[in-house]
Amino acid sequence: MTEYLQSTFLGPEIGWLVATLALILLIALPLMLAVAMIIYVDRKIIAAVALRRGPNVVGPFGLLQSFADGLKVFLQETIIPSGANKGLFLLAPIITFTVALLAWAVIPFSEEMVLANINIGVLYILAISSLGVYGVVISGWASNSKYPFFSAMRAAAQMISYEVSIGFILISVVLFAGTFNLNEIIKAQEGHIFGFVNAYGVNPLLFPMAVMFLISSMAETARAPFDLTEAESELVAGYQTEYSSMSFALFWLGEYANILLMCALNVILFWGGWLPPVDWEPLYAVPGIIWLFLKMFMIFFIFSWAWATVPRYRYDQLMRLGWKVFLPISIFWVFLVSGYVMIDKFGWPL
Amino acid sequence: MQIFAFYLFASIVIASGAFCIFARNPVHSVLWLILAFFNAAGLMLLVGAEFIAALLVIVYVGAVAVLFLFVVMMLDIDFAELRAGFMKNLPLGLLLALVLLAEIIFGIGAWSAGGMGEATAVVGPPAGGPSNIEALGTLLYTKYVFIFEAAGLVLLVAMVGAIVLTNRKRGGVRIQNIQEQVARRPQDATRNEQPEVGKGVEL
């Protein structure tokens, strides 16, 4: 598409710009649709665990519930508290939403369907996900209110803590695959186990990492059981307390876009991305994007399942899990993985 | 396109640097500083140092600046006191500014005098060669391995020092033993009693 537009009257530079903009919209708009649907799925799963029906009134099976909610929120009035820092108050949801969209630029949906196939994809993801905390912290401070401020403090501490172990987990996968490029990481998983299973997660050396990454990604996106930033029994709605209308909706959209991103990352790093689950010829007839979505859905189901089942962590337990359990284990595992990779590549040293 | 991006990033870096100094509110200052970091990373990308750009964002924007923001937000700032110190520290500040200006002038002078042509001509990794990360890794872990490890040791010492300085025994702290809490069973913690009417339960 880029080449085609560059060859028309637009010329190479403007053609590239137009093509890239079109591709960005091609990712962002379906993503918004996916977020709307995944909120519905989330509510249905949690309802099923609680033996309720969940949303079932708007549209067939309640499928249009999220759109009805969106419309309702859109028509409401935006209220800015008089004590708030107005500029930052409005900037915070925009940052959250933008950052949640940014990281999707490097996600490979299939072998060719990737907007920016850069050779530091993993680092890019790490960099962008470390920006996510700013929306929360700024909103908490700019609201000029006690509960949002507590929530912002919690969020800053929580996200930094879990980013450390996420970094080590990413490094071990990078060591195994030998590249920072997400597409190459997926390709390296082809026939990884006995030349048959397309997943790093099944490797006994990486399976603990896969589990830790799943839990860390729940903590990183502040999903239950780690949703201390918006623990409704303690902090009303956390950093979103003072927000209304579209500014509130932007937080909501950004949060779910982040959750979907983390699902995609789980799939790409450990479960083979757009590859079919096993290396069997007929399965490759199914487009890669469908495998990716199926696997993302499985991971998202685990997210919802955990939300519905596990009670919220206490703050000290959350910090203990991050610093005293995940960090030492992940450092030790990086040591193990790098040792294995060295022996695998260069033979036994003696 | 590259020229446009360069001027965009560069002007934002300079503007946000200025705003960082002139902002009255310290939190605004930190936020302007973050914007400056972010655009500096963009400049790094333009010269083809994508690894350095990623590091800048991960380390400075993602970790250091968050801690800055964390601390500055918690501070109870007295603006009058802040301004009172301004005149007292002005000579020192001016001296520092002069030194920095002199360094920049020296730098530009040395650069325009020539002799560093080869160093400035190389932009980005050569096409087809190893990527930035591979080249950096190869250098760091072979040629400069001892210096690299020494740098790591310095950081380790700094970390141990910070922990030693701030770690103190505090009395009256109730330590949560999480293993014990998790291993607790209902039958250890509760009992079922049916007292007769008018008689209480011994707790």
The tens digit of pLDDT for each residue in B104-152 reads 898 888 877 765 555 555 555 566 667 778 888 888 888 888 999 999 9
pLDDT for position B161: 93
**Mean pLDDT (whole number) for A215-219:** 89
Q: What is the mean pLDDT of chain B?
A: 82
Q: How near does any CA of chain B get to the CA of A131, in Å?
A: 6
Do B58 and A126 make contact, defined as CB atoms within 8 angstroms?
A: yes
User: Sign of torsion, CA B41 B46 B48 B50?
Assistant: positive
B70·A153 Cβ contact <8 A? yes
Tokens of A92: 């915070």
Whose CA is closest to A142, among A78, A90, A95? A90
Give pLDDT tens digits for A152-185.
Answer: 888 888 888 888 888 899 888 888 888 888 888 8
In a domain, A5, yes or no: no
* Across A273-298, average pLDDT: 82
Query: A317: which chain B residues are within 8 Å (Cβ-Cβ)?
Result: 176, 178
**A9 falls in which pLDDT band (50, 70, 90)?**
low
Cβ-based contacts of A157 with chain B (< 8 Å):
70
The beta-carbon contacts of A82-90 under 8 Å, at least 24 apart in sequence, are A83/A144, A83/A145, A84/A142, A84/A143, A84/A144, A84/A145, A84/A242, A85/A141, A85/A142, A85/A144, A88/A138, A88/A141, A88/A142, A88/B28, A88/B31, A89/A139, A89/A142, A89/A143, A89/A242, A89/A247, A90/A247
Residue A60 lies in a domain: no
Residue A115: predicted pLDDT: 81
Residues B84-101 have a mean pLDDT of: 84
Q: Is the pLDDT of residue A195 over 80?
A: no
Provide the residue count of chain B: 203
Would you state the pLDDT for residue B119?
52
Question: Which residue in this structure is represented by tokens 């109730």?
Answer: B174
Q: Cβ contacts of residue B94 below 8 Å, gap of 6+?
A: none
pLDDT, average across residues B169-179: 79
Whether B72 contacts chain A with CB within 8 A? no
Instruction: Name the token pair of A6.
Output: 């560059």
- Contact state of A127 with B57 under an 8 Å Cβ cutoff: yes
Q: Is residue A20 one of the residues assigned to a domain?
A: no
Q: Which two tokens stand for residue B157?
A: 């010492």
**pLDDT value for A155:** 83
Q: What is the pLDDT of residue B151?
A: 93
- Residue A130: which of B31, B62, B73 has the nearest Cβ? B62
Q: Which of B55, B133, B178 sits opposite A180 (nearest CB)?
A: B133
Q: What is the pLDDT of residue B95?
A: 92
pLDDT at A123: 87
pLDDT, position A193: 74
Asked if B163 has any chain A CB less than 8 Å from its own CB, the reply is: no
As a whole number, mean pLDDT of residues A282-292 equals 81
Q: What is the dihedral of CA A57, A218, A98, A254, to 10 degrees?
A: 20
User: How high is the pLDDT of residue B22?
Assistant: 82
Residue B100: pLDDT band by 50, 70, 90 thresholds?
very high
Higher pLDDT, A13 or A123: A123
A218/A326 Cα distance (integer angstroms): 13
Contact between residue B93 and residue B101 where contact means Cβ atoms under 8 Å apart: no
| Residue A279 three-state SS | coil
> Is residue A30 in a domain?
no
ipTM here: 0.78
A88 touches chain B (CB under 8 A): yes
pLDDT tens per residue, range A61-94:
888 888 888 888 888 888 888 878 888 888 888 8
Distances (CA, A) of B89 to B26, B84, B92, B197: 18, 10, 5, 79
| Pairwise CB contact (< 8 Å): B54 & A127 | yes
Residue A314 belongs to a domain: yes
Q: Output the pLDDT for position B99.
A: 94
A248 domain residue, yes or no: yes
A85 domain-assigned = yes
Q: What is the pLDDT of residues A85-122, one digit of tens each?
A: 888 888 888 888 888 888 888 888 887 777 878 888 88
Please state, for a pLDDT cut of 90, what percent of chain A lies above it.
6
Q: Is the pLDDT of residue B91 over 90?
A: no
Whether residues A133 and B66 touch (CB distance < 8 A) is answered with yes
pTM value is 0.83
Pairwise pLDDT comparison (A121 vs A193), residue with the higher score? A121
Residue A169's domain comprises 76-346
Residues of chain A contacting residue B69, judged by C-beta atoms under 8 Å apart: 134, 137, 156
Over the stretch A254-282, which tens digit does the pLDDT of each residue have?
A: 889 889 999 999 998 888 888 888 777 77
Residue A196 has pLDDT above 80, yes or no: no
Cα–Cα distance list, B143 to A204, B138, B147, B149 (Å): 35, 8, 9, 12
Question: What pLDDT does A60 receive?
Answer: 85
A281 touches chain B (CB under 8 A): no
Q: Please count the structural domains in chain A.
A: 1
Name the residue in chain B with its Cα closest to that of A92: B31
The per-residue pLDDT of chain A, averaged, comes to 84
Interface test with A, best of B16, B24, B45, B58 (most A CBs within 10 A): B58
CB contact under 8 A, B50 and A119: yes
Instruction: Give the span between the Cα atoms of A43 and A41, in whole angstroms.
Output: 5
Count of CB pairs separated by less than 8 Å, A with B: 67
| A52 belongs to a structural domain | no
A193 within 8 A of A199, measured Cβ to Cβ: yes
Neighbours of A287 (CB within 10 A): 13
Which residue on chain B is closest to A124 by alpha carbon? B54
Mean pLDDT of A127-132: 84
Q: Is A134 on the interface with B (CB under 8 A)?
A: yes
> Does the pLDDT of residue A235 top 90, yes or no?
no
Interface check for B66 against chain A (CB to CB < 8 A): the answer is yes
pLDDT confidence of residue A350: 67
- Contact residues on chain B for A137, CB-CB shorter than 8 A: 66, 69-70, 73
Residue B153: which pLDDT band, with cuts at 50, 70 and 90?
A: very high
Cβ distance B66 to A134 less than 8 Å, yes or no, reads: yes
Could you tell me which chain A residue has the CA closest to the CA of B2?
Answer: A13
